[in-house]
Amino acid sequence: MPAITHHIPDEMIAAYVSGSLPHAFSMVVASHLSYCRDCQAALGAHQAAGGALLETGDAVAVEAGLKSRVLAALDSHVVPEPVFEAKGIYPGPVIQRLKGRPPRWKSLGMGVKQDILFEDSEGSARLLFIPAGQAVPDHSHNGLELTLVLQGSFSDETGQFGVGDVEIGDENLEHTPVADAGDPCICLAATDAPLRFRAFMPRLLQPLFRI
Amino acid sequence: MPKDQSLSQLTLWLLAVRDQRDRGAFADMFDYLAPRLKGFIIRSGSSPALAEEIVQDVMLTVWRKAALFDPHKAQASAWIYQIARNRHIDIVRKESRPVPDELGEDPATEPDASQILALEQETVRLKHAIAQLHPDQKEMIVKAYMGHLTHQEISSQTGLPLGTVKSRIRLGLGRLRKELKGLR
């Protein structure tokens, strides 16, 4: 695998560690971390800071019965939580959302397909399938968009993005990503706002396609 | 790994729980951790009742998942902190947080005990840096690591530049990151 050159900013890793990052973005961050030793080191540093704060903070006495309740529960049988591991091109956090099934692609035209994996009031995350050589319509962003490459690669005005690389788009990024030659480009993309497409999809249709 | 006196007490307890399923060590660890966890969770704005529920859940998760603790990859309190955040969020949101895949050993490095000690020493230095913070600054950083404030909010709420609030912490984080990079 070629070296990862486009990373998650440190502040966003801190927000992921602490849990203040919206769920859709957390999916992308956890997926990028599944490829990237550098960002796992940053993750570990923030976890250590959290651990140091936990240990040095003020203690508050727990209720008298808590310890005996916990000790009594050590042997109780629990159904282990399912563990979602990477499968094929998809890292664990994507498999978790797919619940182990293959993606259910829906056509957006021009060979571009998507599968919306998650949506809540804070944002949405989806898989995008872009045939080699195909451009994703020129778009800019209302909010923040994270795009992580899972297969193939794409290029735009800012550079080339291969497997494990993440592109961070905001209001200032107006770009035309084009899938490079070779395998179709499959990405995990998360956004906190609907995208504004400039070409082939009138804005009125956006709610219909939820893109 | 040899039992070394320079490992933290928390690490030794956790290894005894992991390797021997040592209930005595777990009970001692409970006495040390549970009140700190409760204080930490309450400062994030949770009620004492919810904090108790989360403490119970976190301590049982530590017991059940101890086999996953690897001091080459995470310092003991760092590992417990992340469990506490994950369980807190899972309980409040009622859905599982996305968690990264394990990367396995870096073929370029061979972890050894001295690296674990280096990691522990950096964490001690970070604790000292935190202890030197003004109480208001410490409170803000605690809130940030409890997911209660964004880092942007921290700087805007106080009018302090982010760098001033975090410069010592940032230095400590940089050193830790370097240590961890050698381990992963």
Domain B107-184 sits in CATH 1.10.10: yes
Q: What is the mean pLDDT of residues A6-22?
A: 88
Q: Which of B77, B115, B120, B155 to mutate to test the interface with A (most CBs of A within 10 A)?
A: B77
B176–A18 C-beta distance less than 8 A: no
CA A194, A195, A201 angle in degrees (round to 5)? 115
Distance from CA of B55 to the nearest CA of A (A): 9
A67–B80 C-beta distance less than 8 A: no
Is residue A87 within 8 angstroms of chain B, CB to CB?
no
> Where are the domains positioned within chain A?
1-211
Specify the fold of B8-102. Rna Polymerase Sigma Factor; Chain: A (1.10.1740)
What's the pTM value of the predicted model, to 2 decimals?
0.87
> Where are the domains positioned within chain B?
8-102, 107-184
pLDDT score, position A149: 97
**Is A199's pLDDT higher than 80?**
no
* Segment B110-162, tens digit of pLDDT: 667 777 788 888 888 888 888 877 787 777 788 888 877 655 665 555 444 44
Residue A15 makes CB contacts below 8 A (sequence gap 6+) with: A21, B147, B150, B151
Specify the fold of A1-211. Jelly Rolls (2.60.120)
* Segment A123-146, tens digit of pLDDT: 899 999 999 999 876 565 677 889
B44 confidence band (pLDDT: 50, 70, 90)? confident
Residue A198 makes CB contacts below 8 A (sequence gap 6+) with: A137, A138, A139, A140
Q: ipTM > 0.90?
A: no
The pLDDT mean for chain A works out to: 86
Q: What is the mean pLDDT of residues B83-106?
A: 85
A49–B173 C-beta distance less than 8 A: yes
Nearest to A48 among B39, B59, B78 (CB): B78
A55-69, B39-53, B143-157, range with the lowest pLDDT: B143-157
CA B139, chain centre distance (Å)? 16
A45–B173 C-beta distance less than 8 A: yes
Q: Quick one: what percent of chain A has pLDDT higher than 90?
A: 55
Q: Kindly list the residues from chain B whose CB atom is less than 8 angstroms away from the CB atom of residue A18.
A: 85, 144-147
* The two structure tokens encoding residue A163: 């497997």
A47-51, A92-96, A104-108, A201-205, range with the lowest pLDDT: A201-205
